[in-house]
Structure 1
Amino acid sequence: MHDHASHYDSNCIFCRIAKGEIPSRKVYEDDEVFAFHDINPAAPVHFLMIPKKHIASMAHLSEADAPLLGRMMALAPKLALEQGCNPYPAGGYRVVVNTGVEGGQEVHHLHLHVMGGARPWLKG
């Protein structure tokens, strides 16, 4: 049904960003992962982390994707600090993955939102 062998979808904006076909403000890149600033930030620090291969959503993950997602989760704290999030425990960040329409997913290429930074207007 969903073929992971087709790692690139030319109709997918995030596939195109990862390939450099659409410009972005890059945060990080390696063989498997691409991270870039959110175009409409919801926090002082707000970037997205995506797998370079096209995986539509969390719902499409298989056991074979666990090492990739584990790497992404382990990389998130390092990138968050580099991008200006304050250190734990007083500082911090949120890692959010929206899945499907009811989950608020707008681009159907798996992406982790990393959001943080000082937000003095928030109350808890």
Structure 2
Amino acid sequence: MAGVEATQPAQVDISKTSSVPTEGYDKKCIFCRIVNNEMGTELLHCDEEISCFRDIKPGAPHHYLVVPTKHVGNCKSLSKEHVPLVKRLVDTGKEILQKNNVTDLSDVRFGFHWPPFCSVTHLHLHVLAPASQMGFMSRLFYRLNSYWFITADQLIELLNSKGENN
């Protein structure tokens, strides 16, 4: 039965668009299964490139995960060519916040857990708002300037510097 569930949504998505290749889906990846509607998770946004859903363990009143619809590894696997993708993840996060009446973008945290501190290897941007209302544990898990969490801006800067060093 699980094999049928994993196969049917991928076939449906591929028939709708040729830009979602079969190799962009990892049946063992929970986020791939979510974006293919196999988990019953509400998708707040879904297109050929980006999907968004709520975090199951919210660290703030608004806590969303914005992911590439196609399977992409974690932050360490990215290169300079991924900068537009990271920027689109952030832009989608901002759109979702605005749709949910969060207008103070100065009180938002956009970031990624740095390997090995990520529980899912599918690239995912954490969007937390208002950051000022995060509890003690969330402030620890999503702490700025830590070994385990990097902001979207820091990741973009890092990826752009990778291109300069090549």
Equivalent residue in structure 1 for 2:33, among 6, 16, 27: 16
Query: After TM superposition, where is structure 1 displaced by more than 6 Å over at least 4 residues in a row?
Result: none
Distance in 1 separating the partners of 2:41 and 2:134: 28
Alignment partners' CA distance in 2, 1:68 and 1:35: 14
Equivalent position of 1:95 in the other structure = 110
> 2:136 aligned with 1:119, yes or no?
no
Identity of aligned residues (%): 30
Q: TM-score, normalized by length of structure 2?
A: 0.61
The TM-score, its normalising length taken from structure 1, stands at 0.80
Whole-angstrom CA distance in 1 between matches of 2:102 and 2:51? 19
Once the two structures are TM-superposed, the CA of residue 121 in structure 1 deviates from its matched residue by 7.0
**Partner residue in 2 for 1:105:** 118
CA radius of gyration, larger in? 2
SS for the counterpart of 2:24 is coil
> What does residue range 55-70 of structure 1 map to in structure 2 within 5 Å?
55-70=72-87
Deviation of 1:48 after TM superposition, in Å, equals 0.2
Report how many aligned residue pairs link the two structures.
Answer: 115
Gaps of 5+ in 1: none
Distance 1:5 1:62 in 2: 22
Quick one: distance in 2 between partners of 1:30 and 1:11?
21
* Distance in 2, Cα, partners of 1:86 & 1:94: 13
Shift in alpha-carbon separation, 1:94–1:5, aligned structure 2, 3 A = same
Alignment deviations for residues 70-114 of structure 1 (CA, whole Å, 9 cap, x no partner): 21122222212222424245xx2101201212xx21111000010
Q: Which whole-Å CA distance do the structure 2 matches of 1:106 and 1:119 have between them?
A: 23
Residues 6 and 116 from structure 1, CA distance in 2 versus in 1: closer, same or farther, beyond 3 angstroms? same
RMSD (CA atoms): 2.3
1:21/1:120 CA distance change after superposition, 3 Å:
closer
